[in-house]
Structure 1
Amino acid sequence: MSRIHTVTGSVPGVHRRSVLAAAGAVSLSAGVGYALRPTDGTPVPRQRTAGDGEAPAASSRKAPPAPLAPYTKGTTLATVAAPRTSTGYRRLGDGPGWKRVVRGEPAAPASRRADRRTVLAAFVQFTDLHLADVQHPLRLEYLRAHDVRAWRPHEALTVHGAISLVERINALRGAPATGAPLHFVMTTGDNTDNNARSELEWFMKVMSGGRITPNSGDPRHYEGVQNSGLKLYWQADASLRDADKQLGFPHLHGFLAAAIREVRSPGLNLPWYSTVGNHDALPLGCYGSHGDPYLAEAAIGGRKLMSVSATEAKKLQDAIKNAKDPEGVRFHDFLKAHARAARPVTPDEKRAPYTPADYLKAHLDPAHAGLGPVGHGYSSANLDAGTQYYSFRIADDVIGISLDTTDPGGHYAGSIGTAQLKWLDRTLRDNRDSYAVVFSHHTSETMTNTRPDPARPGERRHHGAEVIALLGSHPNVLAWVNGHIHRNVITPRSAPDGRSFWEISTASHVDHPHLARIIEIADNKDGTLSLFTTLVESAAPHRTDFADLTQTGLAALYRELAFNAPGANRALAGDPEDRNTELLLKKG
């Protein structure tokens, strides 16, 4: 079965565009493999000779291919959105890029390593897109009465922002540190926001291409908190001086009509893989997938709660944060108690929660294959076994492993079961001759939920420290790449015997600064490896024009609204050593 071959700057004949358009994927665990292979070559026109009855054609030696060169255009090495006004609602513009920081905690960098190195792999990580059906009846926007951060003014534009991120990746012509072709994109969970079928369809089309109408309920009109007349939310179209307008948010006539208008995603021009997050597996990202059927009925029904008191909002938020209601029983009671306050909306069956099987079937649907692989890592074997973890071949020398760290018993923190932990150990042992990159949604420090899986009540759940210990026992593990915390954090992890790997956590694409991450793996040929990490923004311009409500204009507005969101955490970009880096490791 074909694999991607290691990409080097010194091997002749590597054609960047053919490799960019074809990356390999081989399922090692699920029993089904699918591979895309670059064309081995193109036909060369036959040279005419004197025997053909014409004068012989002059010939000359072909010029050697140009060496791979770093491609930094469109990355945060070149420029980053930055405020160009200092008070009130702040407008964005082009700011200086972020420099690359060399981190040598596990291994000291040697001089002239760039002259010797060979590139093993290069890929892109998306995480926490949170594509949101903002008119969904179960959304918790009213928690903003207690916590201003509980609702984001830009949430109606998540689809526009995600498409613009796809456009950015499609425009890249190589990796920013080495110039190597990019092999694939991996999205590390929370692809959707409310576990709604409408959102799952939008996600599949954003990634693989298609036309999307980011609307549900009434096909003609928006029905949600942003035309509710409530001062608690930004009423973009209305002249009402709501709480956000008092902070400088603009009055944008036509905003809601534009936000729900049909848009088009070109789809990624790279193969892509998928990892599941808690918002993909659990209703609202926190209630058990085997929970109360009342919530499933309410999701597709015709009533939407938009306003509660600050006291009631705090009580509900505390119950969610402290895992006091993992199955949603109290939430059920809460909704019933406030039923008379709920407003009428158009019912829509597309808002129904989707099951893990639905998630797998959507990925296996040929309509959403894009450039593949079929299933985007998942296979029919996953569907038969009821699992959402798998492994795949990244390159001859590198495998990828995608974990399912969500807890079906409820709550947004994660863990994994014993069967998956044993599978992970076995997969790493069986591929000891390959380097390994592990992907998950949760970080090690947010894997604290050991609540039993209702489908496997006798199986023990394992927390993040146990996963670190297992990964550290395998010298072929290079990195654990994840999301969930919406913040850039890069941490060296060490096993008791001194082996090390890097845990790379990447900020979300729903909260500013809206980032994805490129990761390149290189062998420095001096006993060390380098992992390069480079952050990228979407393709939308940094400057916005309030009169521009086109698809591109709304993607730019998405970023600026997020920057100005009341209570927004300004530290999510992380420190310089968590952004654009070179991470050194000793070869195992």
Structure 2
Amino acid sequence: MSRTRSVASSTHGVNRRTVLAAAGAVSVSAGVGYALRPSDSQAATATEAAAAEGPVAVSRQAAPAGLAPFTRGTTLDTVSVPVGTGGYRRLGPGGYLRLGEGPAWQRVVRTELAEPRSARAARRTTMAAFVQFTDLHLTDVQHPLRLEYMRSADRHAWRPHEALSVQGATSLVERINALRGAPVTGSPLHFVMTTGDNTDNNAHSELEWFMKVMSGGRMTPNTGDPRHYEGVQNSGLPLYWQPDSATRDSDKQHGFPHIEGFLAAAIREVRSPGLNLPWYSTVGNHDSLPLGCYASHSDPFLTDFAVGGKKLMDLPTARSKALQDQIRSSDDPRGIGFRELIQAHARDLRSVTPDENRAPFTRADYLKAHLDPAYAGAGPVGHGYSTANLDSGTQYYTFRISDDVIGISIDTTDPGGHYQGSIGAAQLRWLNRTLQEHKDSYAVVFSHHTSESMTNTHRDPAHPDEQRHDGADVVALLSGHRNVLAWVNGHIHRNVITAHAAPDDRSFWEISTASHIDFPQLARVIELVDNNDGTISLFTTMVESAAPNRTDYADLSQTGLAALYRELSFNAPGARMDLSGDAGDRNVELVLKKG
């Protein structure tokens, strides 16, 4: 019997872990999956899951036959492009962003792993359609642990638009809610997966904002003094853009505007509608480690400094460069050198208002937030994580995407410290066992790190005798299973798609997607289809946020700030202009032989 059935042909689209109050039978999923316990890697029954985690939201109902592609709001329709040349790009006396609606990105067919057959579009059936978010980096810009001062050595170490990350992410949610179907097949979109670095600095404040952006709610992106902003952007230091003042800072010298009331607007309440799709969560290094790189949850110095009333805002270039080199080298995974630097510059610290909400969150805190019914949104309860994860202290799981496809979310962060990734031996064995147990289902693997960025094998302090495995080991394992279709990840803030070929048609595509903190701030729609000719195609389509191209500096509404988020990110000094990748990394058809 074929493993592939069309998701679009289902008439109910109900999660396998359906709510007990519904008809009582366990229905086939047409979208939102159910988390399988990491301890047994088997499907939970409706009774077991409901008892452990409560009701799970039902996914969108599948549309009837005759689905039409939905490209409006995607880069198959139009793409925001810069117009003209020069420094800070503005248009007209009102200070409008010089971004315009450019031509769409065309679809590219990639054939490294299989040759496409003619007339396949008429034969194809949909297996699944979902959206990937990655690297939202929701940022508490007033947090004492931030490394803004490294900008004296690296212009891109601080971004002028970071104060608007919550407004920008909410605009992305609004865009996904407006999509009425998948761009190629017209299939319903079944869920959103966010592949890590959801927060920027492992702070409780940022975790709350992330959960509310995704599930809906009101939030105030402000910590410390509730009355006004306290940070580098009203410090008077010319190293940073001072939007509200007439200070001739280094960014204004490059054309950045004076915007009266910007900081007050940036810390006003934001309202997110929440995704109208179920969503799942994968953890990244910025979610797991203070500053995204230090294994220091047991270090009272960092915690006390995070919640305390002192903040370093300025550092000589040589010291900044030395700290940056030390972080990149991974020689100080526990942040001892960082502590010494702060202590050496005690006289340079500025006073800010202390705030307990800035404390680092632990792995258990992250899991509890996802399991909190207040953040259920469109479901599922736990967003992939279960009480079994909480009991075992793990952050990996598998879930049913559709009748014939499972999703596997793995944790590639290294508890031993450093921003690059790896995977522990126990989790690698679990991944291998899970793929074997579900050999009759296709599999999509999700992680934060890419295969090439999994180069960090610091030992986990909680498991010092356990071997850590790099990206090559994960590629080798995935290549040993015929059912793996794709490995979807982020971390590198750039669109890159890599073909991994192995003997006996054991091949898969690695799909890495750009961040939402750096321009062009994209998400990706991924559609899996059976061509019914011995091949499978994975279609990926890039999506921008709902923020307008044009900005008006007098418009400091939530929508106006989301537009400014894009403008400022495009103009950020030191920002790379190649993060959208090549044509073959964006809107593509990726062809595979059927395993």
TM-score range, shorter chain: over 0.9
* Residue identity matched to 2:458: R
Distance 2:520 2:127 in 1: 29
- How do residues 223-262 of structure 1 correspond to structure 2 at under 5 angstroms? 223-262=230-269
- How do residues 455-474 of structure 1 correspond to structure 2 at under 5 angstroms? 455-474=462-481
Work out whether residues 185 and 270 of structure 1, in 8 Å CA contact, stay in contact via their aligned partners in 2: yes
Distance 2:188 2:442 in 1: 19
Quote the offset at 1:564 in angstroms.
0.5
Distance 2:60 2:200 in 1: 39
* Residue identity matched to 2:586: R
Equivalent residue for 2:437? 430
Quote the offset at 1:388 in angstroms.
0.2
Match of 1:212 among 219, 235, 249: 219
Work out whether residues 143 and 313 of structure 1, in 8 Å CA contact, stay in contact via their aligned partners in 2: yes
Equivalent residue for 2:548? 541
Change (3 A) 1:168 1:38: closer
Equivalent residue for 1:316? 323
Quote the offset at 1:95 in angstroms.
1.5
Q: Deviations over 1:339-395 (max 9, x none)?
A: 110100000000000000000000000000001100000011000000000000000
**Which sits farther off after the overlay, 419-428 or 93-102?**
93-102
Distance 1:264 1:435 in 2: 38
Equivalent residue for 2:100? 93
SS in 2 for 1:412: coil
Distance 1:129 1:380 in 2: 26
Work out whether residues 107 and 589 of structure 2, in 8 Å CA contact, stay in contact via their aligned partners in 1: yes
Distance 1:40 1:291 in 2: 46
Distance 1:435 1:13 in 2: 22
Distance 1:586 1:40 in 2: 30
Equivalent residue for 2:33? 25
Distance 2:390 2:463 in 1: 16
RMSD: 1.9
Q: Deviations over 1:311-354 (max 9, x none)?
A: 00001000000012100111111101111101000000000000
Equivalent residue for 2:197? 190
Residue 404 in structure 1 maps to residue 411 in structure 2: yes
Work out whether residues 22 and 271 of structure 1, in 8 Å CA contact, stay in contact via their aligned partners in 2: no
Distance 2:448 2:254 in 1: 34
Distance 1:12 1:368 in 2: 28
Distance 2:236 2:461 in 1: 42
SS in 2 for 1:422: helix
Residue 575 in structure 1 maps to residue 574 in structure 2: no
SS in 1 for 2:7: coil
Equivalent residue for 2:119? 112
Equivalent residue for 2:568? 561
Distance 2:194 2:365 in 1: 18
Distance 1:467 1:321 in 2: 23
Work out whether residues 94 and 543 of structure 1, in 8 Å CA contact, stay in contact via their aligned partners in 2: no
Equivalent residue for 1:7? 7
- How do residues 29-428 of structure 1 correspond to structure 2 at under 5 angstroms? 29-30=37-38, 33=49, 35-37=56-58, 67-90=66-89, 91-428=98-435
Change (3 A) 1:40 1:293: closer
Distance 1:415 1:94 in 2: 40
SS in 2 for 1:119: strand
Q: Deviations over 1:264-315 (max 9, x none)?
A: 0000000000000000000010000445220110000000000010000001
Q: Deviations over 1:445-472 (max 9, x none)?
A: 0001111000000000000000000000
Change (3 A) 1:554 1:39: closer
Distance 2:104 2:497 in 1: 19
* Residue identity matched to 1:7: V
* Residue identity matched to 1:364: L
Work out whether residues 289 and 408 of structure 1, in 8 Å CA contact, stay in contact via their aligned partners in 2: no
Equivalent residue for 1:519? 526
Identity score, percent: 71
Quote the offset at 1:85 in angstroms.
3.2
Distance 2:500 2:64 in 1: 39
SS in 2 for 1:521: strand
SS in 2 for 1:557: helix
Distance 1:140 1:477 in 2: 39
Distance 1:7 1:396 in 2: 8
SS in 1 for 2:256: coil
Quote the offset at 1:38 in angstroms.
5.8
Distance 2:58 2:201 in 1: 36
User: What TM-score do you get using the length of structure 2 for normalisation?
Assistant: 0.91
- How do residues 496-515 of structure 1 correspond to structure 2 at under 5 angstroms? 496-515=503-522
Match of 2:488 among 476, 481, 502: 481
Work out whether residues 424 and 467 of structure 2, in 8 Å CA contact, stay in contact via their aligned partners in 1: yes
Quote the offset at 1:37 in angstroms.
3.9
SS in 2 for 1:330: helix
SS in 1 for 2:415: coil
Distance 1:587 1:487 in 2: 28
Work out whether residues 128 and 508 of structure 1, in 8 Å CA contact, stay in contact via their aligned partners in 2: yes
Change (3 A) 1:218 1:292: same
* Residue identity matched to 1:270: L
Structure of larger gyration radius: 1
| Structure 1: stretches of 5+ with no match in the other structure | 42-63
Residue 443 in structure 1 maps to residue 442 in structure 2: no
Distance 1:324 1:362 in 2: 32
Work out whether residues 30 and 61 of structure 2, in 8 Å CA contact, stay in contact via their aligned partners in 1: no
Distance 2:88 2:405 in 1: 46
Work out whether residues 443 and 486 of structure 2, in 8 Å CA contact, stay in contact via their aligned partners in 1: yes
* Residue identity matched to 2:85: S
Distance 2:409 2:277 in 1: 18
Change (3 A) 1:301 1:380: same
SS in 2 for 1:392: strand
Distance 1:437 1:423 in 2: 15
User: What TM-score do you get using the length of structure 1 for normalisation?
Assistant: 0.92
Distance 2:257 2:393 in 1: 48
SS in 2 for 1:446: coil
Work out whether residues 5 and 125 of structure 2, in 8 Å CA contact, stay in contact via their aligned partners in 1: no
Number of residue equivalences: 558
Change (3 A) 1:250 1:261: same
Q: Deviations over 1:520-579 (max 9, x none)?
A: 000000000000000101001111111111000100110110010001100100000000
Change (3 A) 1:461 1:506: same
SS in 1 for 2:36: coil
Q: Deviations over 1:140-162 (max 9, x none)?
A: 00000000010000000000000
Quote the offset at 1:84 in angstroms.
2.4
* Residue identity matched to 1:27: A
Quote the offset at 1:5 in angstroms.
7.6
Equivalent residue for 1:53? none
